[in-house]
Amino acid sequence: GQNIDQPTEMTATEGAIVQINCTYQTSGFNGLFWYQQHAGEAPTFLSYNVLDGLEEKGRFSSFLSRSKGYSYLLLKELQMKDSASYLCAVTHGGATNKLIFGTGTLLAVQP
């Protein structure tokens, strides 16, 4: 079966650092994506991990441990505009590479 878990909601303060965790159990794995989704808008691509380790891209970093079925998204120097839902998604593999999404973590950044 497929199962992706992430916290439903998180709150953080402007300028701070926040870590959003994601654990997964899937029958196939070809990589893990993080997407950002503002209310009423399309998901936008943030990061992709296929190998173990940390990928850094500006204020955002993403980590993957395939052996533990675990990833996190790290957001530094939080800004009010970072208030959004953050979606963890695993590519199922095979010929399709469809994305299996978690329910998303709604992050509220407070002043």
Applying CB under 8 A, which residues contact another protein? 4, 30-31, 33, 35, 41-45, 48, 87, 89, 91, 95-104
Q: Pick between residue 16 and residue 50 the one whose CB is nearest to another protein.
A: 50
Of the two residues 13 and 96, which places its CB atom closer to another protein in the complex? 96
The nearest distance, CB 98 to another protein, in angstroms, is: 4
The residue among 16 and 88 lying less far from another protein, judged by its C-beta, is 88
Closest CA to 31 of 85, 98, 86: 98
95: Cα separation from own chain's centroid:
23
Helix or strand (DSSP H, E) at 89: strand 84-91
Cα–Cα–Cα angle for 79, 82, 12, rounded to 5 degrees: 70
